[in-house]
Each structure stands twice: as structure tokens, then as C-alpha cells.
Structure 1
Amino acid sequence: MKKIISIVLFAALGGALTLGAYKLFIEKPQIVIEKTIETKPDSMQTDYRELNTSAVENTDFTVAAEKTLNAVVHVKNTMYKTVRDPFAEFFYGEGSGTKKYSQIGTGSGVVISADGYIITNNHVIKNATDIEVTLNNKKVYKAELIGTDPINDIALLKVNAKDLHYIVFGDSQNLKVGEWVLAVGNPYNLTSTVTAGIISAKGRDLDGNSGVDSFLQTDAAVNPGNSGGALVNTRGQLVGINTAISSMTGSFVGYSFAVPSNIAKKVVEDLMEYGNVQKAVLGVRGGELNSKVAENLNIENTEGFYISEVIEGSGSQKAGLRKDDIIIKLDELKIATYADLTGFIRTKRPNDKIKVTFLRNGKEKVALVTLIKNEISIISSIGLELKNLNAKELKKLKISNGVEITAISNAELQAYNVKKGYVITAINDIKIYSVDDINDIISNKKSDEVLRIEMLNLNGELERYIFR
């Protein structure tokens, strides 16, 4: 028994010595490296999940291009001028000094119906004697001018054709900044040109533009000749009519502007149905808010439209809007600027009802306002504010037509003692029945044309003034 125990102890001792020798002389020591991982605060948490870049990488413009290329046309307008040389007629006889000149302008247009209705810019066909349209397949048609809206720079043409490719209208109000768009047109007479970009901004107001104050801004390249062409979304829907570029050189420098499709569509429908544009007004005066205006008015809001006056008899007055109210929404559209408000109203007609959300003493309220027909207009080019006269007012003045001067900013007219209450009855022998008549005449005025304005003074006497 003792012998067995001795054998076990010697075996254990031998194993221990063998293991110790292995650990000491053969096995390499294990090196432990300790790493410290710092925990970021909650506010700096990062999501390392895979980013979805397919929206950018897989955006396909070919479908939109295919839908629109054959529906965008080249528009050529020809204007003929007859110039007389009185000296040549004096020496060589009557007619010898008369010469006829032609001036040609080009642009783009968009086919909006299979039977040949085409929308373009008013400035593309302004003062044209002949209008010619060339389709993408090189077919040429003579175009008839259906109507124009110089204020929104829109014109409607018609060609005698059928089964044409056309573009359907999209909803420009739902466009988002950053959304992809294509500009399709004929810059520099290069037909069927497509450029891509994004919506850079909405509701742009360009100083010096003839009335348009709610442009879409895009960085899709637009150059001379693109005017009147299509701005489309990636579904090939018409969301704007390319109209202007802002450039010192006259060529594209990074951004351009388009009339929103909702305005263009309303103009076209009015021209088709009524022959003229039905202009509605909300019936308020005021301006957009910013931090400086808010500080001067001692209010907290820096966005919205501040009402400084409510027009008597307007839908706004009847709905209960007051001075110092702040309009923040029309229907569901947020109103942050003056351009937001005017752009929305230009898509509406007289007697349309809209929901007006406004602030009064810091509390939000809602009113249903019926829009009225435009009765007042500020004509900045001649420095006058004008108001339509109703039948009762015309009868009292013993005249059949005319518009009343309600404010004067023209220093020369003030020097000639023209006063509020004067009535403009005719311009260049054309009778004036409404403020829209004057807007149309001035918007279509040629650069060298003289305006001969006839007015009735406060004594009922006729006075004539010449504007060069």
C-alpha cells in the first residue's frame, strides 16, 4: 500500500516539474492588450445603418424626356415694320422713301392638347405679325394667337393639327425644394434640348419683372430660346413655363425662373373659356413680415402677411378680417411671403371661396373669404393707382366708360396739377372700361410707342397727356 502511494506522489511531482519546465522554457508568454472604448454622449449618437443612395443614383430622366421632347416646339415670330423717310419722299416723290423691315424672334412652346393648343411666353410672340411653329418632327404650322396675359407673361396659340404629342399639367403647389426637374426647349435654335436640375426655391419675386412675383427657381440650364419651354418633373408632368434668367451676360449663370404651372393652367383655361384672364383679389392691403417689420409693429411674428387695410366691400371685409390681422395660411398653403399670397390668388377666379387662417392678438382664427373681381390696380410705369367705376358712378359723371385715379406717384403729373378723382377715358383712342384694359395696353406697348392718355378733370373738362 505504501509502495502504491509513493508511486502516485512521484508521478504527480514529475508531472508538475514537466509542466513548469514547458511554461518556463517552451511556451511563449501571452500578451494582453487592453483597449478603452469611449462612450459618446446621447446628443452625438450616430446611425451607421446603410444609407439609401438609390434615390440619387437610380434617378432616371429618360421617361420624362421621352414624354416631353415631342411636345415642346420651336416658336418663330416675325414682326414687320414700315419706316418712312420724309426726305426721300420730298425729293423723289411719295412712296419712294418707304421701306419695309422684318424682325424675327424665336423661343419655345409647349403643346398642351392633341388638337393643337400651345402655351408659350407672351414676350416670345409680343407684337408678332406672323407666328410659325415647328414640331420636333420638323413639321411647320402657322399659329393663331388665341390670347395673352402680359401680367403673368403667358400666351396661348393654336395650330390646325390633330393627334399631337402633348404634356399634361402637374401641380406646382406640391413641388418641393430639392425636387428634380427637367427644362426642355430650343436654346440658340438648338431643337429638342433637355437639361436637368432641381427646384432651388419657390415664390421668387424678381425686381423689375412685369408683374410676375411667384416664380419657381431652378438650376436647370436655361438660355435664350428656352423661353416658353417646359419645366417638367420626373414623371413628365408640366410644372412650369421657363421664362427668365438672371444674368449680366444674358446667358445661363446658375439659375433660372419659370411661371408655376398652376398659374399658367388657370390663365389658359380663362383664355379658352372667357377670352381674357379672370383676375381675383383677396381685398386686403399690407405686406410680408420680417424681423425689422415685426419690431416696428411690436409683434412677435416674423412670417406671414400683415394686413394694414381691408378694402371696403371686399370678401375679406365681409368675412370679418381686420387691420393688424396676420394671414398665415390660404387653404392649406403656408403664407410666409407676399409672393406666396399673390401666387396663390393668381390661381383663383372671382367668386372662388378660400379658407383664410390668420392670427389676431396671437390667437389663430379661420375665415371663409369669397374673392372679388379686381377693381384696383397700381400702374407703376406711369405712377398711378386706378380704380374701376361702377354704373352708378359713371352715370353721376355723365360718361359711359373710364377708370378713376385714386393715387399719384408720378412727379410730372403732380406738377401738371393732376389730382385724385381724375378719370382716364381713353389711351391712344382706345376706350378704357377697366383697369385691366390699361394693364393690357401698357404691357403690350412697343418700346418706341407714345401713349396719349385722355382724362376728365374734376370740372368735367378733357385733358390730354403724352407719355413717351
Structure 2
Amino acid sequence: MRSVQSLVNIVLVPALTGLSVALAVLLWLPGAMSPSHNETSTTGTYSATDTSLLPSAQGPVSYADAVDRAAPAVVNIFTRKIVRRKTHPLFDDPFFQRFFRTNPQPSERIQSSLGSGVIMSADGYILTNNHVINGADQIVVALHDGRDVNATIVGTDPEADLAVLKIDLQELPYIQVAQNRQLRIGDVVLAIGNPFGVGQTVTLGIVSATGRNQLGINTYEDYIQTDAAINPGNSGGALINAHGELVGLNTAIFSKSGGSQGIGFAIPAAVATRTLTDIATHGTTIRGWLGIEVQESTPQLLEALGLTEALTGLIVTGIYPDGPADKAKLAIGDILTHINGEEAANARHAMNQIAALRPGDDIDLEFIRAGQVATTRATAGLRESHQPQ
């Protein structure tokens, strides 16, 4: 019969040695006992490490490359305007000046303001906002590379708050316009400009909305809304995508304090570049015209017209004699339901839609008259630009 000591040597020593080895394995290789990465959970068909159902990681960790592409084409714009004081002619008479003041005040003073702009071509065409240069006697453009030069006004479009400038310099950088990338809500955008005159600044945000109108800012409104910080001085600067391409021209902010509150508006690049082409070629913006006045339908108006069924449309309230709509036999009281196949429910959108046409383009109209659906075709005319007095 074996002794207790021999039993310990035979049974316990190997057991303790095995436990020691197992503990060492767990400490040094903690993943050795974990399930395989491809092992399927026993509670279902979804793997604990399966990433196919998770959103894929997109976008760079830095937008420096996008800024490097666009920033050289964004300029600072400084304007000077001579403001003349209005005084009674008697105050200019030296005899009467003796009674009113001993040191006559100057009749003129220089008013300065600042903004931003974007170089659109190698030959020096610059897009900015009309309100940046409106009334300026001198416009100075400061480039990203340190050069500055006087600019001339090629033309303006106050109804869309756009202006085209021209500078004469060599080796000008210019921005690339986004062509084949549809802007979507949630896309990352960056605003580049000169806020408060501190120098070129870049802010980051997303596209909050597109097609914003009825803001009361301009006659033609079709804005990109973004929460990228836009402040005074950013006007006319570039709104770019993550690829460094121009998607809009920063124009306005909604603010109670005067600073950015996360609601900024930019003119879409397609609208701005079209205006640039029109002004550079024709000296003015070319817009289509239908020659009608409309009002959005309401239940009360429909009831007054004897229409009880629910429908949306634009009620024709006025027609210009010999205009495109008049020649197409449209009549006051007709309810436009579709313009070129698009539902006509918003007056601002319909105006923008027609303005985007060229004179001579066809306009297919569907409308309701006396309860019956009818169609006609008009030919777009040329809308005369209205310059503010």
C-alpha cells in the first residue's frame, strides 16, 4: 500500500503543474480561449463581430486637402465708398458759417466695408454678393497669396444678390465647381471667407436643407441652408464640399445677435455660375418670363371660385397683355396644377422654375378651368431686370 506522500507526488503535483500552466496561458494569451472571429453566436445567426449591419465609416479625418484646393481661389474684398453729407446750401456760405460753427465739418467721409469673393476663371472673373460691392467707389481684392489689386464691376444681379468682378493679374488660381455630385441633406460642407476682417477662415458644417425660399431676402431665392458658421465678412465667400469643389456662394445668415446661430444661406453654384456666364456674355442676367401673376390656392379661395374638391395649384390673378401666357390663351381664374410636368403648388418655386428657362423655351402648362382639366403650351419670353432705385 502506497504512502500518502507517494499519492501526493503522483496525483497533486501534476495537477498543480497543469493549473499553473493554464493560468500562465490565460495571463499571457488572453484571446486564446475566446471564440473565433468567425464563430456564430449560439443564440442566433448574427455574429457578435459581424459589421455588415453597421454603417460603414466614410469621410476623411481631415479636410485639409479640400481646403488646399479651394482656399487659394477665395479672396477678401475691401470696398471704399465716399459718403457726402447733405446740408442746406446756406451752410456752405462763409457768411452764415460764422454763426453756426467755427470749424466747418467735412462734407465727405470715406465708408469702408469688407466681404469675400471667389475667383471663377484664370482670366480673373470673380463672383461675390451684390450687397458686398453695392455703391462702392473703389473695390480692392486681396488674394490668398498676398497680392492685392483693384477690381472693376462687370455687372450685377440685385434680384439674386450676385455681382461679377474682374481683376487683371497673371497666374490666378480658380475654383472647381461641383458638376456631377448631387448635394444632399447631411453632406459635409465648409465655408471659406473673411469673417469680421480677421483673415481667411474655414468653418465646418453640413447641408441642413436645400431649396429654401420665401425668406424675404431677395426676389429670387433658392438657397442652400447650412450650419457651417457664416458671419459678417463671409458674404460672397465659397461654400465647398469635402472634395474642395464649389457648391454655393455664402450670402446671408438668420441671426438675432448679428453673429452665426447655425442658420446660414448660400446661393447654389449652378445659379451663381449661370449668372456669371450671362453677365460676362450679355452684360445682364437672362431669365425666362411667363407674364402672369399668381396666388397660392387656399380652401377659402377655392370655395369662392366654386371649387369644393381639395386640390393644390396656383390661381392666375393677372395676365400681362400680349405676354407668353396671354398668347397661350391662359385666363384669369385658371388654376395652374403643373408646369413642365412639375406640380405647381409653391409660387416662389414656380417663379424660379420659369426664370431658369431661356427665352424661346417651351412651357407646358396643365390647369383647371371651370372644373375641367386642360393643357396649353407657352413660349418663354425675356424677363426685364428690375434694378433698385
Shorter-chain TM band: 0.7 to 0.9
AA paired with 1:75? I
AA paired with 1:440? Q
- Structure 1 counterpart SS, 2:66: helix
- Structure 1 counterpart SS, 2:85: strand
Relative distance call for 1:175 and 1:284 in structure 2 (3 A) is farther
- CA RMSD, 1 decimal: 3.5
Distance 2:115 2:84 in 1: 24
Q: Which residue of 2 aligns with 1:4?
A: none
Relative distance call for 1:107 and 1:293 in structure 2 (3 A) is farther
Relative distance call for 1:138 and 1:150 in structure 2 (3 A) is same
Q: 1:271 aligns with which of 265, 275, 279?
A: 279
AA paired with 1:50? L
Q: Which residue of 2 aligns with 1:301?
A: 311
Q: Which residue of 2 aligns with 1:241?
A: 249
- Structure 2 counterpart SS, 1:64: helix
Does the Cα contact within 8 Å between 1:71 and 1:111 map onto a contact in 2? yes
Does the Cα contact within 8 Å between 1:79 and 1:127 map onto a contact in 2? yes
Q: Which residue of 2 aligns with 1:347?
A: 356
Does the Cα contact within 8 Å between 2:251 and 2:265 map onto a contact in 1? yes
TM-score (norm 1): 0.62
For 1:43-122, list aligned pairs within 5 A: 50-55=53-58, 58=60, 61-83=63-85, 86-87=90-91, 89-91=93-95, 98-122=106-130
Query: What 5-or-longer segments of structure 1 have no aligned partner?
Result: 1-36, 38-47, 376-435, 443-468
For 1:406-421, list aligned pairs within 5 A: none
Does the Cα contact within 8 Å between 2:337 and 2:368 map onto a contact in 1? no
* Deviation for aligned residue 1:287: 2.9
In the alignment, does 2:207 pair up with 1:199? yes
Q: Percent identity?
A: 33
Q: Which residue of 2 aligns with 1:338?
A: 347
Relative distance call for 1:233 and 1:291 in structure 2 (3 A) is farther
Offset from partner CA, 1:18-71 (integer Å, 9 cap, x none): xxxxxxxxxxxxxxxxxxx9xxxxxxxxxx95122423x547633432221111
Offset from partner CA, 1:213-253 (integer Å, 9 cap, x none): 32222211100000011122333332221111111111111
Query: What 5-or-longer segments of structure 2 have no aligned partner?
Result: 1-42, 44-50
Does the Cα contact within 8 Å between 2:289 and 2:383 map onto a contact in 1? yes
- Structure 2 counterpart SS, 1:440: coil
Q: Which moved more, 1:359-368 or 1:96-105?
A: 359-368
Higher relative contact order (CA 8 A, sep 6+): 2
AA paired with 2:72? N
For 1:442-453, list aligned pairs within 5 A: 442=389
Does the Cα contact within 8 Å between 1:244 and 1:256 map onto a contact in 2? yes
Distance 1:292 1:184 in 2: 47
Larger Rg: 1
Distance 1:270 1:257 in 2: 23
Offset from partner CA, 1:301-347 (integer Å, 9 cap, x none): 34x5444455443334444655434344546x665422222223333
Q: 1:370 aligns with which of 343, 368, 379?
A: 379
Distance 1:122 1:182 in 2: 22
In the alignment, does 2:228 pair up with 1:224? no
Relative distance call for 1:368 and 1:190 in structure 2 (3 A) is farther
Q: Which residue of 1 aligns with 2:323?
A: 314
Distance 1:141 1:132 in 2: 6
Offset from partner CA, 1:351-370 (integer Å, 9 cap, x none): 2334x363548998775542
